[in-house]
Structure formats: C-alpha cells, structure tokens
A and B are shown apart, each in its own frame.
Chain A
C-alpha cells in the first residue's frame, strides 16, 4: 500500500476518534473514551508507518531526504506531533476530556492536506538551501512546539467553555460537569505551553543556525522569523502572567488562544507576506 493511501485512512481514523471523544463527552460513558483512545493510537501508528514509507520512497527515487521539507510534509508531521503529544498527556494525567478539542485539529490538518488545491504531495529533490541537517532539527523542534501549543489551545478552549457555564449556573449538569476541573485545565494549559516554549525556543535557534550557514545571517527579520518571535513572546508573556496579581485562569486560557492564532499565522499566514521562507508555497 502506498503511503498516501495510508494517510487517507489515517485521516478517517482521526475523524472516528474525534467522534468517539464527542460521544464520551455527550453520553458521559468512559467506554467511548477508551474506544476513541484506541482509534487515536492506531491512527498514530499508521501515520508513523506512512511517514517511514515516504522516507523510504524518497531513497528509492534516489533523492533521499527526511519527509519534512515542504508544506505537505510539514502538515502531515504537524498532525502526527499533535496526536503524539496529546496521547502522552492523556496517558500521564489519566483524563480523556481534552481529546474532543485536540484530535479534531489533527483531523482537520490531515483533511486539509488532501483537499487544498495548492498543496503538492510529490516527493521532490532538495534544492541546495534545504540540504542541511539543521533544517531537519529546525522543523522537528518547531512542530513539536506547535503541537504542544495546540494541546494548550484545546485545554484553553475547554477552560473558557467550562468557565462560562460554571460562572452562570451553580448546578452544572450534563456534559459540562464531565469536563476536567478548572484547575487541572489551567495546569495543563500551563504545562503544555511551557513545554511548547522550550521546543519553540530550540526551534528558533536551530532555524537561525541554519540561516547562519545558508544565508550568512542568523537573523534577517524575514516575516516568518518575526512571526516566530511574536509567537515566542506571546508564550513568554503567558509564562510571566502568573507573577502578576489577578492574571490567572481565564487570562491564561485567552493567551493560549491568542498564541495558537499566532502559531497558525506564523505557519500559514506568513506565506502571503514576502520573504525567505516562501519556498514553502511551492
């Protein structure tokens, strides 16, 4: 089976997983949660296999390189990293509630790769500027960071949802009562954002080492560089807000949404501004 075929199956598997996480939340039965989790893990395993196949396929074509070099490949890796991080966190905290906000993001990204008209899924040889191991490290660390921010975003969304409802009525029933406690969500937002912050710090650094070797300047204020710095600063703000009185919970959650918007803009929006990184469009 070709890796593109497997990736279409993975898209479907993530969708199913999302539906089961939704059932879990609405019906309140952990059975659905377990099923959702099994689907998410299977999707992850299949996607890992597909990535390895694609990697191998590039060597069979004689232009071997890590499958992380164009928009298509980076989107696939982004989805992979989101599910990977989410499942690790789910396993660590033993609560499946955030899945309903996080897994659909991975599904949407996978779906986007197959329907967006301007995305090229062919394996292509690397132009000289991209022939660098720093590039691989750069992409891996950035997307690990983005994935952690996605988890923070999912938890932030749940936090605001729960906070709105809980703020209005005391006797919360139905599925909102099954959402994780606010302080657990807050700590999840904080922990994933901190993890993402470490990754994106390393990501920006490896990126600038690459730029140093490829272009002769570790920083050139290219829009993508500027936006990655903006994202970095937004999360730096988040790490600092708890040292300011009154900046807790709700504001932390809002920053996690703002930060995620900035991640998306850094990743996709910036391509519409001119600069060095626009090769990604091809």
Chain B
C-alpha cells in the first residue's frame, strides 16, 4: 500500500511514461542522425549568442549519443522498467499460479452456438476421449465434477507470463553492457609496417597507449578480383611477450584476432613511403651479388673501394618503368647513372641509346654491371585495436531478448475448459478458451478441436 501512495513510485510505474520516454529518445535519435556528430564543438557555437552557446554545450548537441540528456533518458527508462516490473510481478506470479478451477466465471456463457456438440454416448467413454484429445493438444489435463457436469481443464505456456520480464531485463542488461564498454574499454588504431613490431597504439582523443605486449606484422597481403575490386586483405601477426613469440595468427576482414582480452581488426592498409630496390651487380673479382636498398642507402663494392649510393628509387620514370639512380664514388671519379628494371626492352626499342645517353648505361662504372631485379614495396597494415568488456554482457542481453520474445509470441499461454453436461436426452459438450494474446488463434484451435471431436464421435 505504501508503494502505491508514493507519487514518485506511481510516476515511474506508468506505461504512459514509457511511451513518452521512448518518443523522446526517438526524437533525440532523429536529431542526432541529421546533425553532424563528433564534430568540433567550437565550430558549432560560432555565431551563437553566449546563452545559446551555453545551452548548446550543456546539451552536447555535437555528441548527442554521449550527452547528459541521452543518459538521463536512458536512466529514466531503466528506472521506469525496474519499477514497472516490480509492480506487476505479483500479478504475473498469480497468473502463473492460477489454478484451473474454479473456471473463470461465465466462461461458457458466450461460447458461440457452434461450439456445442451433441452426442448420444455414455459419459465414461466420452470423458476418456476428451481427456486424450486435450492431453495430445495441450498437455496436462485436470478435471472436476460440478453440479453442471464434468469440467476438464488443460493449458500450456504458463511460463509465458515471464517472457515480458526476460525481455525487459535484457534491455537493462544491454544498457549496462554498453555502459561498461564505454567506461572500461578503449578503441585504438595502429599502423604497422611489414616486418616491424610495435607495442603502442593510438586512442583518438586520449593519445598513445602502451600495450602489455608487442605486435609484429610478419606479412601483409592484398588480393584483387579481375575487375579491380579488393578480394582479400590479410595480415599475418605475431604477438610477442617478454621477447618471445607467444601467439601467431592470420587477421582477415571479418575474422578478428583476440589476444589477451584485446581484439585486433583489419581496418586499412597502405604503401610505406620508402620503397626498396633489389639490385644485383657483377664485375670485378666477384660473382653476382645482390643488395636491397632504400633511397639514400649506400654500400661498398667489395674488391674495390668505391661506394655506391642510391639517390632515387622511382616506380616509373619517364614511362620506362621502375628505375633507381645510383652514384658511384670511387677515388678517381664519381659516376651518376640510372639502372632500369626493363633495360633489355628499352635497348631493343632504342638501339644505340646507351652510347648516346651514358646516364642510362647501367655498366657505366666499369667493369661493374648493375641491374634492377625488382622494387620491393612495403605495405603497412592498419589495425583497429579494441578492448570492450561490455560486449559479452550485451551479447547475453541480446540472447535473452530473443528468448524472451519467442516465449511471449510463440509459446503463448493458452487455457481451455471443456464441459460435459448430461441432460435427459443427450450430452452437451462446450469448449471455451482464454489467452491474453491472440484470442483469434486460440479460437481457431478450439474450432479445430470441435471438428475433430465431432468426427471422432461420429465414427
């Protein structure tokens, strides 16, 4: 009684409040979907009067999904939900416990005329027939002798009254999970070049964050379809703890990797700014040798004290394909020349080119001859790094919600009563049913039941 008297309690136990809150949340969402979110608040308030700007900043119009207004609505909805559920639970419990007898008053009064079957059979066999029918269709059957005849009762889906509580609890669980995620989780990004290792990630708005372990990108692969659309992005990652590789795995889009509570996602990729050239050279007293260099790198020609420096690495120079520009510094003289990857084709297309343009001659520094095997482009992989302890909670809420909805809509409570009334000449069978959901469906079942009974009685 004291609960009823409390105005705050009755305010929060009203379904009208639920509807108003849901409508307000819908309005907030509509606003948020049209107004740019996550924008810079200062841009927004430019040109507003100071008072308007204050209201604006207070309401966080630029980030409505994290605004006090939204949290207030969610909080009120939660309180509404909890109080409403507590308030109704006793009533639902009574319904759950409801005994089949006495049958609801007047239930047989407005059974439609065609719900009455007349038979000239003895009560005993009729009773067992009806009992078997109800048993098959509804499960557990009870009966009782009354002054109006025998009444059978059967029902199913008693548990259905709790479906609503499961759904509503699941909403609270999901709100809690979402909150846990935003309080205790983080979302970060990191780019790692092939072959490199890192242990820090970047959190937008919070800066760099050190992880308890390091991640190495062993390899990044991208594949394309014939039409140029991307087919696969894949990063092979190693997770390193205390200097040892602890776990290795392939990361693909739609197949994240989880390591020590933190999930990694393939989110982007790109070419690292410096491309490496794979050069080979022959000459001097050496056999063919091979080096891998980026622009600016240099090496010493063994057996000669000349130094070779890579001045430029070009993916396509003068439409003649990949090339590197080298400078050879020897004690006597310096040489600068280009080494093209496709030198053979170039020579064929332009006979005499090398003698006319010595700069294009890869053998300019005799007796050495350089060639460019290929350019090695390095990719970096862009990873999204997430820790969200709320995910499991939200998932639990989701599963409960679906279970609850199924209980509400597909296992509805249905109760039927059948009365066998003996008069002087015959026996009258009356069937009636009650459900709190979809009475029409139950009425159809009852009609089916009647037809079935009639057929069997005739047989």
Contacts and interface: CB of A to CB of B under 8 A. Distances in A.
Contact of A230 (B29, B227, B384): B29
B254 interface: yes
Interface in B415-459: 438, 440
A218 B391 contact: yes
A105 to B, nearest CB: 24
A241 B230 CA distance: 48
Nearest to B16: A244
* Residue with the greatest number of chain B CB neighbours at <10 A, chosen from A124, A194, A221: A221
Interface string B301-333: 000000000000000000000000000000000
B26 A234 contact: yes
B225 interface: yes
Given A216-B263, A230-B30, A128 B440 contact: no
B22 A223 contact: no
B384 A125 contact: no
B19 A215 contact: no
9 tightest Cβ-Cβ pairs between the two chains A and B? A128-B253, A216-B265, A216-B384, A243-B15, A125-B225, A132-B254, A216-B386, A223-B33, A226-B33
B219 interface: no
Chain B interface bracket (under 10, 10 to 19, 20 to 34, 35 or more): 35 or more
A169 B266 CA distance: 65
Contacts of A201: 401-402, 405
Interface string B384-424: 10101001001000100110011001000000000000000
B254 A213 contact: yes
Contact of B26 (A230, A270, A273): A230
A125 B253 contact: no
Contact of A236 (B22, B65, B227, B263): B22
Interface in B307-366: none
B19 A216 contact: no
* Residue with the greatest number of chain A CB neighbours at <10 A, chosen from B33, B37, B233: B33
A216 B187 contact: yes
A37 B278 CA distance: 72
Contacts of B23: 237
A6 interface: no
A280 interface: no
A243 B33 CA distance: 30
A226 B29 contact: yes
Nearest to A242: B15
B265 A215 contact: yes
A275 to B, nearest CB: 9
A128 B252 contact: yes
* Residue with the greatest number of chain B CB neighbours at <10 A, chosen from A197, A210, A233: A233
A75 B405 CA distance: 27
Contact of A244 (B19, B178, B231, B438): B19
A218 B34 contact: no
A243 to B, nearest CB: 4
Contact of B256 (A216, A237, A270): A216
Interface in B240-262: 252-256
B25 interface: yes
Contacts of A202: 402
A233 B25 contact: yes
Nearest to A205: B398
A124 B394 CA distance: 34
A205 B402 contact: yes
B275 interface: no
